């Protein structure tokens, strides 16, 4: 980690001037104020900190993913003919509803027999084989594609009020080898009582660009009406959000310059690997205001340290995006900055208004009480890296469930090692973790009962990257 500061500082001295002016305004309050990367209330080492980090519990973990075939012979056959290549399967998306977890295993490479799977929760086994969802028959082979079936699902979203599981199927196979869009991307939904597919909406050609990758999904239900549902899908490689209206069975594509990646944040140095991801708009979380019309969508590109927001009413106004006459560019606003190495994949907001977000470069999970300003001193980190540095490695997906005792769920999957190096299959590579929302934030700055740090006099060590502004 340390060695990576050097080039960044050099870089900053070059770009510093440009960012300074932005900084002064945005971070004015920051200056006199302490900021810390970890909990302010309980410095690492104190009992509170220890209890906190322990609150992330492993639900399931795997060295590799195995599938539950109807018979042993079928499994052996699939391995023999290359339909199932154990080491090519990597879990990505996580969701939970009642007694089931939903996991996605996109077809990054050949040999992935199904890209949406389920396991029961809780399981007796810590490393259970996964079962294709809703059935084996619902998944198409990549070699003879049936586009009405599932091809390569990236992420899901559960809409509890209406008992539905939504998924974004990218339609892309071999994404890491030789990207092949064998079917149009599609939005699908399953009724979680019957496990029937109840929505199948292929994105119109005009909304899919060359080399688009649709990889994240969020759902907004208006006024508790299950038909008044809108789905947001991010195109991480061509920087757009597709908005789908269930009532209209139509979609439109939204673009904004804030969907673009920041080149400075596209350089990743993790696990001894260096790579550049120019990934745009990706993480999304919906505020849970009492009135639908007040709701905002918080979002961030993957290659970025910043968080943005936009009113959902604006996204839902189809005519705005099809006429293209009104200038909407300034209606997407940056709200703050997580600082150097603050790249985040996905995020979610709990009932108490606390947002949780992954910190892929820091192997951590961040939190933010959305009623406070988005300044670094108001952002908490939930894991103490000194205590357990390998529990979470590349936290790639995050969900907040809707159970009475709310939980935050994380999928940790070592994706860069899978993509650019070699996973060691005698080691635990994939983990699903859960923490109680209330417990994990109790002694952090994200606790809504605690005052914003703006008013606090507490002193803390300012680490090197905190002094930098960009
Ligand atoms: C994926 O790429 C490999 C290597 O180029 C190729 O052999 C295979 O046929 C491709 N699979 C599909 C489904 O396109
Ligand atoms: C919605 O639109 C899609 C694609 O345009 C079509 O295939 C599907 O049948 C439509 N669904 C309904 C319920 O009309
Ligand atoms: C870190 O987590 C791993 C996996 O749960 C566990 O085996 C190990 O004992 C933990 N180490 C510490 C120091 O807590």
Q: Which positions of the chain have pLDDT values less than 50?
A: 1-54, 456-470
Whether 350 lines ligand 3, by a CB cut-off of 6 Å, is: no
Ligand 3 centroid from CA 389, angstroms: 8
Q: Which pLDDT does position 361 carry in this prediction? A: 94
Per-residue model confidence as pLDDT tens digits over 91-118: 999 999 999 999 999 999 999 999 999 9
Whether 389 lines ligand 3, by a CB cut-off of 6 Å, is: no
Q: Which pLDDT does position 410 carry in this prediction? A: 98
| Tokens encoding 70 | 């109807």
Ligand number with the minimum distance to the CA of 384? 3
Residue 227: other Cβ atoms inside 10 A: 10
Peptide bond into 319 cis (omega under 30): no
Query: In the 8-state DSSP scheme, what is residue 192?
Result: T
Query: In the 8-state DSSP scheme, what is residue 261?
Result: P
| Tokens encoding 173 | 């196979």
**Atom 7 of ligand 1: nearest residue by CA position:** 110
Ligand 1 centroid from CA 174, angstroms: 6
Instruction: Scan for tokens 């703050």, then name that residue.
Output: 336
| Tokens encoding 87 | 């080491």
Pocket test for ligand 1, best of 108, 144, 174 (most atoms within 8 A of CB): 174
Identify the CATH number of the domain defined by range 7-467: 2.120.10.30
Ligand 3 centroid from CA 411, angstroms: 17
Q: Which pLDDT does position 384 carry in this prediction? A: 84
CA distances from 37 to 27, 85, 254, 398, 457 (A): 16, 41, 34, 20, 17
Q: Which pLDDT does position 454 carry in this prediction? A: 56
Ligand number with the minimum distance to the CA of 246? 2
Per-residue model confidence as pLDDT tens digits over 20-33: 223 322 333 333 23
Instruction: Scan for tokens 């992935």, then name that residue.
Output: 112
Rounded Cα gap, residues 127 and 67, in angstroms: 11
Q: Which pLDDT does position 24 carry in this prediction? A: 27
């Amino acid at each position: 980690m340390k060695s990576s500061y050097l080039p960044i500082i050099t870089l900053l001295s070059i770009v510093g001037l440009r960012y300074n002016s932005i900084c002064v305004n945005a971070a004015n309050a920051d200056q006199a104020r302490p900021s810390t990367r970890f909990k302010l209330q309980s410095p690492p080492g104190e009992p509170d900190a220890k209890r906190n980090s322990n609150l992330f519990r492993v639900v399931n973990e795997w060295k590799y993913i195995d599938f539950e075939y109807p018979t042993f012979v079928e499994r052996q056959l699939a391995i023999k003919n290359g339909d199932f290549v154990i080491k090519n399967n990597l879990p990505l998306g996580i969701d939970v509803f009642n007694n089931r977890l939903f996991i996605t295993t996109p077809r990054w490479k050949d040999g992935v027999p199904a890209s949406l799977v389920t396991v029961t929760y809780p399981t007796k086994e810590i490393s259970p084989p996964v079962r294709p969802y809703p059935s084996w028959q619902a998944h198409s082979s990549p070699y003879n594609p049936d586009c009405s079936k599932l091809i390569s699902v990236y992420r899901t979203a559960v809409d509890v009020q209406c008992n539905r599981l939504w998924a974004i199927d990218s339609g892309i196979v071999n994404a890491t080898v030789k990207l092949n869009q064998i079917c149009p991307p599609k939005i699908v939904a399953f009724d979680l009582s019957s496990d029937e597919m109840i929505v199948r909406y292929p994105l119109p050609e005009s909304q899919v660009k060359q080399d688009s990758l649709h990889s994240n999904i969020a759902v907004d239900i208006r006024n508790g009406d299950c038909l008044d549902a809108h789905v947001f899908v991010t195109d991480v490689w061509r920087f757009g959000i597709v908005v789908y209206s269930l009532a209209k069975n139509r979609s439109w594509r939204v673009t904004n310059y804030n969907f673009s990646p920041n080149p400075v944040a596209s350089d990743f140095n993790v696990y001894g690997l260096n790579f550049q991801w120019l990934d745009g708009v990706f993480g999304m979380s919906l505020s849970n205001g009492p009135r639908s019309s007040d709701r905002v969508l918080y979002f961030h590109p993957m290659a970025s340290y910043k968080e943005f927001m936009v009113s959902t009413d604006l996204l839902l106004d189809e005519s705005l995006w099809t006429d293209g006459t009104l200038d909407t560019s300034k209606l997407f606003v940056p709200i703050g900055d997580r600082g150097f190495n603050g790249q985040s994949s996905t995020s979610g907001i709990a009932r108490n208004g606390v947002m949780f977000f992954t910190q892929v470069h820091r192997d951590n999970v961040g939190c933010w009480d959305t009623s406070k300003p988005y300044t670094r001193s108001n952002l908490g980190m939930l894991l103490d890296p000194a205590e357990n540095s390998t529990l979470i490695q590349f936290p790639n997906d995050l969900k907040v469930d809707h159970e009475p005792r709310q939980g935050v769920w994380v999928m940790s999957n070592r994706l860069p090692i899978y993509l650019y190096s070699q996973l060691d299959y005698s080691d635990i590579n994939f983990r699903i973790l859960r923490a109680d929302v209330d417990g994990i934030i109790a002694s952090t700055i994200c606790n809504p009962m605690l005052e914003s740090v703006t008013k606090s006099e507490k002193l803390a060590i300012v680490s090197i990257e905190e002094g930098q502004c960009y």
